Amino acid sequence: MNNPINQRESRRRFIKSGALLGAAALLGPARVLAAEQGETKTAEVTPTEDLMKEHGVLRRLLLIYDDMGTRLKEGREAPAEVLKEAIGLIRRFVEYYHEKDEEEYLFTRFNKAGKLVDLVQVLYAQHQAGRQVTTRIEEKLIPARFSQAAERAQLAAYLRAYTRMYRAHAAREDTVLYPAFRSVISPRDFMALGDLFEAKEVKLFGKDGFEKIVIQVADLEKRLGIYELAQFTPKA
């Protein structure tokens, strides 16, 4: 147990683990993973980091839905154009991009591995339900409807249904589904998927596509007066 060879081996392991921890701090998990695999290829953003960034955009769109819902309930000015543009972003970025990637590249792998199958089933059903609610929201924006109090109240209820479901949905994905993803995919495929997600983002939204989407969301926030982050800080 304490012979010199074992001592040397344990010291070697200690130095190696220390070196890896140091590398982790400097390089981030994807690059360390590559280093551990003896690969030179690196992924700037892992697929789960990418998906979580996209959840950040979704959460900001939910804040826009919150504000529109409050305006409708309180009878304040509620700019339909802002809501229309927010719905456009929900469709293009969340429903036809983020969710499609989850369904095609994550849900299929969990189902194939027989892991978190019940959760994946609920998440998939919520994607379908979300798209249906988006259609209901769009229908309420027809001017003849948007001008009626009863229709506006119904629209506020749809907005609330959407935000309530997606806050729970994204939180469950962030804390349960995404952390488990590495258990159903090889390290090599995990890294390759990061590159694929990046390539898809460029193809669909252009160079710096994510940043451009964030600018569009920020513009909608500014038009509603909810852009300044400090306004969300409670007064002492």
Question: Residue numbers of the site for Fe ion (CB under 5 A)?
Answer: 102, 173
Q: Compute the least distance from the CB of residue 165 to Fe ion, in Å.
A: 10
Q: Compute the least distance from the CB of residue 225 to Fe ion, in Å.
A: 28
Q: Compute the least distance from the CB of residue 200 to Fe ion, in Å.
A: 15
Based on CB atoms, which residue is closest to Fe ion, 112 or 188?
A: 112
Six token digits for residue 210: 């994510």
Based on CB atoms, which residue is closest to Fe ion, 107 or 158?
A: 107
What's at 200, amino acid-wise?
Answer: K
Which helix H or strand E contains 215, and what residues bound it?
A: helix 209-224
- Distance (Å, whole) CA 162 – CA 66: 10
Based on CB atoms, which residue is closest to Fe ion, 31 or 163?
A: 163
Q: Compute the least distance from the CB of residue 47 to Fe ion, in Å.
A: 12
Based on CB atoms, which residue is closest to Fe ion, 93 or 156?
A: 93
Q: What is the largest CA-CA distance in the chain?
A: 86
Based on CB atoms, which residue is closest to Fe ion, 153 or 204?
A: 204
What's at 188, amino acid-wise?
Answer: R
**Looking at beta carbons, which pairs linking 183-189 to residues 24 or more positions away fall under 8 Å?**
183/113, 183/115, 184/109, 184/110, 184/112, 184/113, 184/115, 185/109, 187/33, 187/36, 187/37, 188/37, 188/39
Query: Sign of the C-alpha dihedral, residues 124, 171, 21, 26?
Result: positive
Q: Compute the least distance from the CB of residue 117 to Fe ion, in Å.
A: 15
Q: Compute the least distance from the CB of residue 94 to Fe ion, in Å.
A: 8
- Distance (Å, whole) CA 111 – CA 71: 42
Distances from the Cα of 227 to the Cαs of 67, 166, 219, in angstroms?
Answer: 11, 21, 8
Based on CB atoms, which residue is closest to Fe ion, 85 or 174?
A: 174
